[in-house]
Structure 1
Amino acid sequence: MTERAPRYVALGDSFTEGVGDPSKHLPNGVRGWADRVAERLAKDQPGWEYANLAVRSKRLRHITAEQLQPALALRPTLITLYAGGNDILDAGTSVPLLLAAYEELVAPLAATGARLLLFTGYDVDVSPALRLLRKRHQLYNDGVRQIADRYGAELVDYWGFEAYEDRRMWGPDRLHMSKAGHKYLAARVLDLLEVQHSVKLKDWEPAVPRTFREWERAQRRWIHDWVLPLAGRKIRRVTLGDNLPPRWPTPVVVPPKGGLRRLVKDQGPPAAQDRPGIP
């Protein structure tokens, strides 16, 4: 009986889908840290299979309803889960109830026997108005740490990564990582998996302080381009992920050379790319 190929399955929202790391060659127009991890795994050990079920804007309840059973059916050997970040930003969210639902999601994933990686969330300093959410973030992250310990999962403590204090690690919406941010997170995950890689933190010159006029102009642009559209979607009760499929819904064998872009070039885009989303 031949040994089953190692299989990585990623669950979550925009964080894991790859929003902020654009790529016109890949499904939904993004790449992201999970793709980068899958490619490095395949380079280190050819034969790795990869599925990414994450879809932007999903709340924890959506991830449980839409991604849990498909993930279990794929019989993964490695699972990554990030969920709850969108819930924390919603008004009226009860952190204890959210953590209870999170544990209900983690338990069956842990029961598969796969290596399971969980993530704390990063407290992005988007705006002084959102600093009120800091306590909620802290409570949720403390709960995630406890659940990881309880179920024998490994923890990627994203909350404590000082590199993300640099605004260049974030995209223009200030909520999603930039390409550099995704690369760095991939490196930290690979470190935890003890897989060799060559990814290093970008060696930037110190950020040039902005004048008040530059800061004020950037604030107005951010509100116009990102805050108002987001508020409009909340009023209409729609999200960018409502009609968007997962990027890699079925496992693909990741080419050790050329990675997933090579796969798309050789085989054509998977079904998930037939309905591109908005990065």
Structure 2
Amino acid sequence: MSSRYTHRYVALGDSFTEGVGDWDQRSPNGVRGWADRVAEQLVLADPSWGYANLAIRGRKMRQILGEQVDAALALQPTLVTIYAGANDILRPSIDLDELLAEYDAGIARLRAGGAAVVLFTGFDSVKSAVFGKTRGRTAIYNELVREIVDRHDAELVDYWRMREFQNWGYWDVDRMHMAASGHTLMAVKVLEVLKSAHSIEVPELEARPALSRLTQLRKDALWAREYLGPWVGRRLRGQSSGDALPVKYPELTHPVWTRQATSP
């Protein structure tokens, strides 16, 4: 399969890379996402690009390293993007030094396979009343990721420093995943790191009216009931929203949106 393509992009990770929040039933698993959008631009500029996306929502770092790295190497990638560790940071306890040492070994394997590798820092959740409590962990994670990038001559998408994403207009109603607008902006950011031309237009966000304290409290209570509660419940039961899902693009191909755009 890989011999069909001169350039081979393989995306690894969890819900961030799978595309959760960028909902579209025309795409596998019902999501599009920034990685698909990056691949679409690469393919439109040069059809010799092939694309695979092995990311599955809910995956923790050791799952990503154990399930996705070997599968990626089998596709002989020339480009890999990987973001792993966000779901680990949200756990009650974590040994970041041990975990990032394993991440380092995984990145070393990808680089040894000949791929250019792009990593991400974690998002600064300073404005989140719930996830802001993990901000310190994320800052430590980011410094260790920067060391990995330097050690292996990888590329970095510095999510932490992208202050645009502090605007809630870029986020889905679950407040955990980027919306279509956020995934679109992230695709642009990744393409800029790759120094790749693109034709993506980032949508302008609509101004959001200020809410009264009572209205905001009601919205927060609804969010906690519909999204936070189920999310906590799954973790207490050892379950993941991605347990029964297949991989979006297990083999190299052109993403569905590109096929639709170029079909007669």
TM-score (norm 1): 0.88
Residue 99 of structure 1: aligned partner = 100
Distance in 1 (alpha carbons) for counterparts of 2:214 and 2:64: 42
Q: CA deviation at 1:193?
A: 1.4
RMSD: 2.0
Distance in 1 (alpha carbons) for counterparts of 2:239 and 2:12: 21
Identity of aligned residues (%): 43
Distance in 2 (alpha carbons) for counterparts of 1:43 and 1:235: 44
- Alignment of structure 1 residues 50-129 onto 2, 5 Å: 50-125=51-126, 127-129=128-130
Q: CA deviation at 1:207?
A: 3.2
Q: CA deviation at 1:254?
A: 4.9
Residue 149 of structure 1: aligned partner = 150
Residue 19 of structure 1: aligned partner = 20
Residue 213 of structure 1: aligned partner = 214
Residue 271 of structure 1: aligned partner = none
Contact 1:35/1:260 (<8 A) preserved: no
Residue 192 of structure 1: aligned partner = 193
Residue 50 of structure 2: aligned partner = 49
Contact 2:41/2:199 (<8 A) preserved: no
Q: CA deviation at 1:126?
A: 6.3
TM-score (norm 2): 0.93
The residue type equivalent to 2:90 in the other structure is L
Residue 245 of structure 1: aligned partner = 246
Segment drifting more, 125-134 vs 218-227: 125-134
The residue type equivalent to 1:222 in the other structure is W
SS in structure 2 of the partner of residue 198 of structure 1: coil
Aligned residue pairs, count: 262
The residue type equivalent to 1:82 in the other structure is Y
Distance in 2 (alpha carbons) for counterparts of 1:174 and 1:156: 21
Distance in 2 (alpha carbons) for counterparts of 1:234 and 1:261: 38
Distance in 2 (alpha carbons) for counterparts of 1:23 and 1:243: 19
Cα distance change on mapping 1:13 and 1:157 into 2, 3 Å: same
Deviations 1:53-107 (A, max 9, x none): 0000000010111111110110001100000000000111111122112112111
Distance in 1 (alpha carbons) for counterparts of 2:118 and 2:130: 31
Contact 1:126/1:174 (<8 A) preserved: no
Cα distance change on mapping 1:233 and 1:51 into 2, 3 Å: same
Q: CA deviation at 1:128?
A: 2.4
Distance in 1 (alpha carbons) for counterparts of 2:56 and 2:126: 23
